[in-house]
């Protein structure tokens, strides 16, 4: 049993997004975080100070641990942002800004 079977989900076609250039299959409607979890990825950011890996913590938009760069825009909360076909997702280092 998995959650999709349990809820008898019939998602439409899977779509493809990229994570640091690598193709990842995603289900439309899922958030970036859910799509990455489904692909077995649990970390997509490193912290500003110690460079430690982080991913989802609160899951509801409160903690900002899940920040990620989506289509060139840094600091998006992966647990809130839905995936779209062709999204270019990049792991985020530090503040996520090139000028930092």
Partner 1 sequence: MTERMRLAVVGAGPAGLAGALAAAARGVDVTLIDAAGQAGGQFYRQPAPALNARRPEALHHQWRTWQRLSDGLARHLAAGRITHLTEHHVWCVRRESDAFRVHALLGPAQEEGVTVRADAVLLATGGYERVLPFPGWTLPGVVTAGGAQAMLKGGLVLPGRRIVVAGTGPLLLPVAAGLATAGAEVAALVESAGPAALLRRTPELAAQPGKLAEGAWYAGQLVRHRVRTLARHTVVEAHGTDRLTAVTVAALDRAGRIRPGSARRIPCDTLAVGHGMLPHTDLAETLGCTLNGTDVDVDAEQRTDVPGVWAAGETTGIGGAALALAEGHIAGRSAAARLHGTVPDPRTWAAADRARTRLRAFFAALDTVYAPPAGWAERIPDDTVVCRCEEVTAGEVRTAGPLGAADLRTAKLLTRAGMGWCQGRMCAPAVAGLTGCPLTPGRRPFARPVPLGVLANVPDDETPTR
What are the tokens at 48?
Answer: 């500003």
Query: Binding residues for ligand FES, how many (CB under 6 A)?
Result: 12
Interatomic CA distance for residues 88 and 73, integer angstroms: 10
The partner in contact with residue 29, picked from partner 1, ligand FES, none with C-beta cut-offs of 5 to 8 angstroms by kind, is partner 1
In the complex, least distance from residue 28 CB atom to partner 1, rounded to whole angstroms: 4
Round to whole Å and give the CA distance between 24 and 17: 5
Site residues (CB under 8 A) for partner 1, limited to 13-32: 27-31
- Give the per-residue contact string, 55-94, with ligand FES (x = CB under 6 A; - = no): -xxxx-xxxxxx----------x-x---------------
> x/- site string to partner 1, residues 73 to 92, per CB under 8 A?
x--xx-xxxx----------
Provide the 8-state DSSP code for 82.
B
Binding status of residue 43 toward partner 1 by CB under 8 A? yes
CA dist., res. 73 & res. 8, Å (int)? 34
Between strands 92-93 and 67-70, the pairing is: unpaired
Among partner 1, ligand FES, none, residue 30 binds (CB under 5-8 Å by kind): partner 1
């Amino acid at each position: 049993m998995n959650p999709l079977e349990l809820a008898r989900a019939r998602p439409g076609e899977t779509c493809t997004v990229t994570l640091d250039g690598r193709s990842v299959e995603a289900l439309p409607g899922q958030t970036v975080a859910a799509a990455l979890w489904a692909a077995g990825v649990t970390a997509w950011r490193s912290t500003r100070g110690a460079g430690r890996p982080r991913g989802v913590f609160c899951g509801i938009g409160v903690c900002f641990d899940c920040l990620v760069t989506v289509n060139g825009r840094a600091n998006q909360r992966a647990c809130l942002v839905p995936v779209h076909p062709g999204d270019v997702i990049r792991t985020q280092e530090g503040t996520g800004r090139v000028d930092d």
